[in-house]
Structures are given as structure tokens and as C-alpha cells.
Amino acid sequence: MHDRFMAIAFITVRQARPRSTFHAVTEKFNPTTPRSYRFLKHLAWIVTVVFFRRVDVTGASRLPTGAPAIIASNHSNGLADPVVIVGRLGILPRFLAASALWKYPPARLLFKLAGVVPIHRRSDGDDGDNREAFAASTAVLAANEQIAIFPEGHVHREPQIVELKTGAARIALNAAAEGVQHISIVPVGMVYADKARFRSQAAIHVGKPIQMDEWVERYRADAGATVRAVTDVLNDRLHDVTLNHATWREAMVIDRAAAIAIDGDSDLIPHEHAFADRSALHRALATVIANRGGENSDEFTALERAVETHLADLAVLGVTNPHAVPRLYPARLRFRLVRLGAVSALLAPIAAIGVVLDGPVVLLARLAGNRVEHPAWKATAKGVTGFVFFPVLWTYESVLAYRRFGGRGAAVAALAGPVGGLAWIAWRTRWVRFRHTRASLEWFREPTEALASARASREQVVERVRGIVGEPTLAVTRVGV
């Protein structure tokens, strides 16, 4: 069931001589970017803006322009990974996907629109020849375009990146050996606050590229050893831009500590920090703790105790989500409360229309997500369900409006669905912030021992984090989005 949602936007490869299932639906490769792919790029941007509250990008200047590159990303969130890459990096990478996915008709249709280089994987029981995929990839790189690949080979639920396949290195080195110059492999780390939750946050960290020109002579002398060496370098650089933990317990404690410290650092101006800042601090904490013994280290034990104490204090105040803690600063809270209340009131009527018109598909998407057990595919299930059924519902509502009110009624109905849905998203976000701000004001009006305890325990978490990573790392600067 999970593979049904793994429809990823990829490259145009067309085979002249069909010799297998996926060859039957391909034609001769044309390196020109198809128009449908440009459309899908804009569509990916829209989906990203709607599904995620924010997606921060760091290191975007490392992406090469006007030169061939292979984007190598970790793969932990199904279809969301390629959609976010396409929608937020502003590039047109051409993806590679397993040939086994071509047996699903929806995937074949999407692959034909977006373009795909099918690759054979032994893990799927496919012993086919990948020479055609290599030739197609070389043609893309020779045209100074970009390929995107997930070197882990599959979507997984591990708290760290898994052992990398050698495909990215072999494609890059093979093309470089055939004369394509200035190829680079660019590691890209994808980090999500909550993979399955609608309107969550994400960050894209672009790592240091690996230049292939300096590896060509070594590859010609010893291909196997060089492919392994480049893959090892890619593994190290992907670790530098992703979150990696020995266990999920370690991951949970460090993530909560980073969230609390970023929100609670009294030296920083109170604002909604970029999610990239939190993931950068998370990564720094994880690196130091891993070097000092992981969960068995004194640093981790003390940090876990401080986090648990702060969460217990927050529970007394009625706060259960450590990532949505009301900031304990009295300044500007009243102005923020008035502003949020006014905007929420203006959006409410339009949002109500969106709830009525879009409600059936929202419920259907939620049911689809609940039916998928793998956490990495829940967001994909919701997204694909909405992508398929929202247009169907809006078309049906427009037809009904046309029959009753004519052309103008149909036009209004066609706009009311998507506009009302966006208004509901905006209203819900502001209403949640309004409630948190109002709760904070109540605490300041009547200071309690519980509030003082929460402040003190938060400072303890901040001090523990400072002791592990140091002052400069904690006081990260906000990342431009």
C-alpha cells in the first residue's frame, strides 16, 4: 500500500527499443526540460506552502548553477521529500526511481508527465540492466542539468540515515569519466518537526558539494575502490546536514531540549525562530553527546532530567506540547493579542465557507493518513488524497452551482473552495496563537508558583544546552527564508 503513494516527480527518459514493462511506456531520451515538469515545479511549490507552515532553507548558495549536479538527499518522508525539494529549492532536478514503481498506473502517468529515469533494484527482486539508466543520467549531466537521487535506496523509519547505496557515486564518476566536466554531488538534508502533521515545519540543509573532477583519474585506475570512497565522503557530508541518533529516545530528548532552548534563550529577541535554527542546534547537541558516549554519558542524563522537569512544570500550567510553549515575555503580548483577534475575526466567515465546501475531502485525507501505519508515508497518503479529490469536489460543486445559478454562480463556487480552504488554514494558525497568547497574559496578571517553577526549569534546560554546545552555538542567527 505504501508504494502506491510513492509517486515522485522525475526526469524524461524515453527508450527507443522497449524491452521491459517500464520500457514499454518510455521513448528516446530528450534532455530538454518538458513543459509538464515546469508545471509540476509550480504545483510542488503550492503544495509545500499549503501543507507546511514553514520550510527553511540553509546553504542554498552551495547549489551549483549552470553546471551538472546530482542532488543526494536523505529519504524519511515519502513523497514529501521530492515535493519539498522541488518546491523550495527553486531548481528542476530530475529524479531517479525504482522500476518496480512503474507497475502502478498512477505512478506511470505521473512519471510520463514529470519524466523519470527508471532504475533496477535487487532488493525488489529486479535483476535488470541499469546501463540505460546510466546513459540517460549521463545525457542529463552533459546538458548541464541536475539529477536528484535518494542514496539510502528506500524510505525508512530509523532515527539516522541508513547505509548508502553506491548509485550516486557510480553515476557521477561514470559521467565524469566519459568527459562531462564540473560534476558535483550535493548532499541535502531534510528535517521535519512532525512528518505526519498538517501545517508542521521543515528545514532543508544543503551541504558541501563533492567535486568529481578530482576523482576521475582514481576512478580510471580503480573503479570499485573510488566508488566506495566517494560514497563514504557522501555519507559523512549527509551526516553533517541530517539528524542522526542511536535511538528514538535520544532523538526525542535532544529535539525537545533544542526546542525549549531556542524558545527560552533570554538573550535572543522573542520572535518565532526559524525551524532551521532549532534543527541546527539539535544537530550540534547530537554530535557532542554522541562523541561523549551517547545515552550513557553524564551530559545526556542531566539533559534528560532537566527536560523532564520542565515538561512536568508545563503540564501543571496546562501545556502539553513542548514545541508550542507560550513565550514568557510580557512585552508586546497585548498588541499581539489584539492583532491576532482582529485578523481571526476577518478570516472567520471565509474560513467557515472553506470548512463547508472542503470538509469531506479533509475528513477523507485524515482517514487515509490513519490507515497508513508507516510514519514516513502518512503525509504522502494525506497529500495524495487531497491532490486527487479536492479538484473532483470543486468541479462537482461548480457543476451544481452552474445548474442552479448559471455561469457566475459556477465561477464563484470554483473560487470559494480553494480560497475558503486557504482562509481556514490561515484562521486556524492565528486562532491557536491567539489562545496561547491569551493564556500567557492570564499568567502575568496573576503570577503563580507554577509559572515561576516553569521559568526556572526552562532556564535549567537552557543552561544544560549551553554547557554542552557552548554559547556561540546556542545563540544562532535567524535564517532567511
Phi-psi region of 199 (alpha: psi -120 to 50; beta: other; left: phi over 0): left
Residue at 247 is within a domain:
no
- How confident is the model at residue 446, as a pLDDT? 60
Q: Check pLDDT > 80 for residue 473.
A: no
Residue at 198 is within a domain:
yes
Residue at 249 is within a domain:
no
- How confident is the model at residue 477, as a pLDDT? 40
Q: What 3-state DSSP class applies to 292?
A: coil
- How confident is the model at residue 114, as a pLDDT? 72
Q: Are 152 and 188 in a shared domain?
A: yes
Q: Are 30 and 173 in a shared domain?
A: yes
Q: Are 237 and 259 in a shared domain?
A: no
Residue finishing a domain among 211, 241, 271: 241
- How confident is the model at residue 120, as a pLDDT? 73
Q: Check pLDDT > 50 for residue 246.
A: yes
- How confident is the model at residue 22, as a pLDDT? 32
> What would the mean pLDDT of 23-38 be, rounded to a whole number?
52
Residue with the larger pLDDT of the pair 432 and 405: 405
Residue at 248 is within a domain:
no
Residue at 178 is within a domain:
yes
Q: Are 203 and 291 in a shared domain?
A: no
- How confident is the model at residue 331, as a pLDDT? 58
Q: Check pLDDT > 80 for residue 71.
A: yes
> What would the mean pLDDT of 266-286 be, rounded to a whole number?
71
Q: Are 215 and 298 in a shared domain?
A: no
Q: Please name the helix (run of DSSP H) or strand (run of DSSP E) that holds residue 225, with its range, or none.
A: helix 223-241
Q: Are 303 and 447 in a shared domain?
A: yes
Q: Check pLDDT > 60 for residue 371.
A: yes
CA angle 65, 70, 73 (to 5 degrees): 115
Q: Are 146 and 180 in a shared domain?
A: yes
Q: Are 427 and 351 in a shared domain?
A: yes
Closest CA to 419 of 365, 345, 357, 339: 357
Residue at 387 is within a domain:
yes
Q: What is the CATH number of the domain that holds 230?
A: 3.40.1130.10
Residue-averaged pLDDT of the chain? 82
Q: Please name the helix (run of DSSP H) or strand (run of DSSP E) that holds residue 58, with its range, or none.
A: strand 52-58
- How confident is the model at residue 118, as a pLDDT? 79
- How confident is the model at residue 25, as a pLDDT? 32
Q: Are 190 and 308 in a shared domain?
A: no
b/e code 147-167 from CB counts within 10 Å (16+ = b): bbbbbbbebeeebbbeebbeb
Where residue 379 falls among pLDDT bands split at 50, 70, 90?
confident
Q: Are 417 and 354 in contact (CB under 8 A)?
A: yes
Structural domain boundaries enclosing 197: 2-241
Q: Are 266 and 229 in a shared domain?
A: no
Q: How many secondary structure helices (H) and strands (E) does the chain include?
A: 15, 8
Number of structural domains the chain divides into: 2
Percent of the chain topping pLDDT 70? 80
Q: Are 289 and 300 in contact (CB under 8 A)?
A: yes
Parallel, antiparallel, or unpaired: how do β-strands 69-73 and 146-149 relate?
parallel
- How confident is the model at residue 440, as a pLDDT? 67
Residue at 250 is within a domain:
no
Q: Are 138 and 267 in a shared domain?
A: no
Q: Check pLDDT > 60 for residue 481.
A: no
Predicted confidence (pLDDT) per residue in 110-146, tens digit: 777 777 777 876 665 556 677 888 888 999 999 999 9
Q: Are 477 and 386 in a shared domain?
A: yes
Q: Check pLDDT > 80 for residue 242.
A: yes
Q: Check pLDDT > 70 for residue 348.
A: yes
Q: Check pLDDT > 60 for residue 263.
A: yes
- How confident is the model at residue 245, as a pLDDT? 94
- How confident is the model at residue 475, as a pLDDT? 53
Q: Are 363 and 474 in contact (CB under 8 A)?
A: no
Cα–Cα separations (whole angstroms), residue 243 to 60, 193, 265 = 18, 11, 22
